[in-house]
Amino acid sequence: MNRKAWSGLLGMATVLAAACSFGSTTNPTAPGGKPLIAEPTTGVTFSNDFNPYDPNSVASSMGTRTLVNEPLIEYDQLDPTAAGTHYWLATAYAFQNAGKDLQVTIRQNVKFNDGSAFGPADVAATFKAMMNPAADTTGVPPQASEPSVSGNNVTLHFQAPQFTSLFSILGNTYILKASVADQIASNPKLVITKPIGTGPFMLASYTSSLIKWKPNPNYWGGTPPESEIDTPSIATNAAASDALVSGQLDWAGNDIPNVYANYVNLNPQTNHAWFASGSTVTLWFNLNPGNGGATGINEAAVRKAVSYGVDRNALALLGESGYELPASSSSALILPNQKAYLPSDGSLANDLSTSGTVPDAATATANKLPAGDDVFDILKGAGWAPPASSTYDTGKGTFKSGGNCDGSNLANCWTKGGEIIKFSIYDPVPFSDYWENAALMSQELQALGMDVTTKPGQGYSDWNTNLTSDPTQWQTAIHWGAGGSIPYQQYQDWLDSSSKTSVAHYIGYSNSAAQAALAKYSSTDPNDTASINTAVQQLEKIMSTDVPEAPLLYGADWNVFSSAKYTGWPNQSHPYMNPSPSDPQMPYILMQLKPVS
């Protein structure tokens, strides 16, 4: 599945037979190349709704919003340099008022797919709609007043400086026609069946198993290379693998089981995979009142012990087939990409054991691991009584509960005040990798005296709805991170409780020190690296000690593709863009491809 999409997955099997009809009705002599069949994520429950600001619409769920509703700038999230900035519906921007105001120059001679003219008023209306927190599902920072328009410029007025939020503002806000934006401003859940936008494609047809997109004849960027984009409904990662092998899928944004043996090596000339590390996968802890009935996880010490008890190597090798690397820093920074932000003393460089056990003294000293940072010492120090049948080797820091803690025998469990550490890991079964990881973590943590079970979500749609709106339905969950080339994007998502669309809000986490550090970070000119590093390291310490989310893996930007129809894909030798077939980079990639003659 695509780890950047914020919506949609279905547990019931969508018949793969439907894949046999992908693009079958397309006129092969149509302008451009052959139909391109792209699957951003698996298991989505299709609905005839293309509202880009409703997280549960099919456009949001499948990550196809930007086929129609484009951003102002296309950012390569893997490249923080100027080379990774591609002006799109904007041609320039400039900060004013010490970073609180952002003036954006709008591209001229652009039309919507209905033939009407696009201009600054549409951009202003879109950002005005984002002033309704229920509509702002992509993270536009709080605005002090409505946008102002002068000539071809739109000026956005924010409550605080926003030097670090350009991706959310310019790269992840999907521009609407003003009349549509006004409706979404008052009704964020507006059902849109005929999406209007400036993107390279427009809706051709919709069914519950296949969505077809045709080229926008008014597209400002020229005629797209592809004659058609087909978005099929595919139930599972394994089904996506079958579709790739049979030639019924050209581009997949999910973890394909044993992708090299099952796909790439079958025809290395045309079959390819490149998984760039673009985010940090974490375990979310539900800290809301009641938190679904979990016990223990409201304590930071318990969350830290859970984090230290996870065998990340097993998650990486067994759950992710080795395509994602184990997280090694409790800071949750994406390493090695963001290594420069770590403390110079190396204290957070390798402070997480990737095996789930504390290494011997020599290894601990070499990696500067804090003394006592193992499951036994963390919990014992927080007042938890170890399992009666447990054994602990103080020399090696190895701990065994004496038997699995499954709730049936408290002698195998940590106890405190009559409670045990008890929670379930809630993830969709069709996410085969995450579901495997949930089972692995359950086994590992039960052996360490915690009653950890798994809770199946039948599909992404119900799972995502529960995570974001019903804290009574879940306790913990494995989830990909927000990514980004700088730490702010992920930290803001994990720690900013003021945002109604942040992970912090969903899990019920609030920390005034984190809010202050985020405010300092966002208000600091990027050239002031010393001040930025100070703020980032404050956030690192909060993640490390409070553990609102436990880092597990360095998440892949999933990208499996065929060059049989098109060349010019982003790959390891030409990494020009985050390669996943999803928002917001999809239009940029599609316009770079070249048909195979």
Beta bridge partners of 149: 154
Sequence-separated (6 or more) residues with CB below 8 Å from residue 326: 312, 313, 315, 316, 354, 552, 553, 554
Q: What is the mean pLDDT of residues 462-479?
A: 95
Domains and CATH numbers, the chain: 16-68+199-275+558-595 (3.40.190.10), 73-186 (3.90.76.10), 277-370+417-556 (3.10.105.10)
Q: How confident is the model at residue 35 (pLDDT cuts 50, 70, 90)?
A: very high
Tokens at 451, concatenated = 């009653």
**Taking phi first (over 0 means left), then psi (-120 to 50 degrees means alpha), and beta for anything else, what does residue 258 get?**
left
Tell me, what's the pLDDT at 322?
87
Rounded Cα distance between 13 and 235, Å, is 5
Task: Tell me which of 20 and 544 has the higher pLDDT.
Answer: 544
β-strand 451-457 against 422-428: which pairing, if any?
parallel
**Which is it for the CA torsion 3, 499, 473, 378, positive or negative?**
positive
Cis peptide, bond prior to residue 584, ω within 30 of zero: yes
- Contact at 8 Å (CB) between 394 and 431? no
By residue count, the chain amounts to: 597
Give the max Cα distance, the chain: 75
Q: How confident is the model at residue 93 (pLDDT cuts 50, 70, 90)?
A: very high
Mean pLDDT (the chain) is: 89
The DSSP H or E segment spanning 131 is: none
Tell me, what's the pLDDT at 16?
29
Q: How confident is the model at residue 15 (pLDDT cuts 50, 70, 90)?
A: very low
**Can you give the pTM of this predicted structure?**
0.73
Give tens-digit pLDDT for 206-252: 999 999 999 999 999 999 999 999 999 999 888 999 999 999 999 99
Q: What is the mean pLDDT of residues 448-454?
A: 96
Tokens at 416, concatenated = 């405190």
Compute and round to an integer the Cα radius of gyration of the chain. 24
Give tens-digit pLDDT for 273-290: 998 888 999 999 999 998
Tell me, what's the pLDDT at 139?
86
Tell me, what's the pLDDT at 20?
31
Tell me, what's the pLDDT at 371?
41
Share of the chain above pLDDT 90, in %: 72
Place of tokens 């609407």: 176
Separation of CA 553 from chain center? 13
Give tens-digit pLDDT for 384-437: 999 987 887 766 667 777 789 998 899 999 999 999 999 999 999 988 889 999
Helix (H, G, I), strand (E, B) or coil at 100: coil
